[in-house]
């Protein structure tokens, strides 16, 4: 399943060159992952935290392809591309709603840790089940 959401580029997202500051894309990517997990599990980040599950990024590979500008509407697409029981990799794209021009593509790897920052040996439920289903679904199509 591919999760999508749209957001408008505000002045606070831009830099002195009049284009979106590179860190704004990272914020939108995180919003995409958070909303994806909420939609798939029914749990918010706060509810996962109450279950002693935190999901930090362990690796991110991002390619900036072009620049969004003030008042553009950007579309953030998020899907799980890999899952091995310990880490989940999200493939994410940020593009123009109007033209489909791609601004950013990223592969983001997350792990699960306890609130004391100790790493889980395996991804805890309900995330493990969700990620397994997501990886198997494309093969059925």
Catalytic residue numbers read: 15
Q: 18 and 70 in contact (C-beta within 8 Å)? A: yes
Burial of 98 (C-beta count, 10 Å sphere; 0-12/13-18/19+): exposed
Tokens (6 digits) for 57: 């990024």
Name, in order, each residue with C-beta under 8 angstroms of 93's C-beta and a sequence gap of 6 or more: 76, 77, 102, 104, 105, 106
The SS3 of residue 55 is coil
Q: How many CA atoms lie within 13 Å of 136's alpha carbon, on the beta-carbon side?
A: 6
What number of other Cβ atoms are within 10 A of residue 83's Cβ? 20
């Amino acid at each position: 399943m591919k999760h999508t959401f749209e957001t408008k580029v505000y002045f606070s997202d831009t830099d002195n060159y009049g284009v979106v500051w590179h860190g704004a894309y990272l914020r939108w990517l995180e919003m995409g992952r958070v909303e994806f997990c909420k939609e798939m599990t029914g749990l918010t980040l706060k509810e996962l935290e109450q279950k002693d599950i935190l999901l930090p990024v362990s690796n991110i590979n991002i390619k900036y392809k072009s620049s969004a500008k003030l008042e553009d509407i950007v579309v953030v697409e998020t899907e799980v591309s890999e899952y091995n029981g310990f880490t989940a990799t999200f493939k994410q794209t940020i593009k123009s709603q109007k033209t489909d021009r791609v601004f950013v593509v990223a592969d983001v790897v997350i792990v699960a840790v306890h609130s004391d920052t100790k790493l889980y040996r395996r991804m805890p439920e309900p995330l493990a089940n969700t990620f397994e289903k997501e990886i198997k679904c494309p093969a059925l199509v």
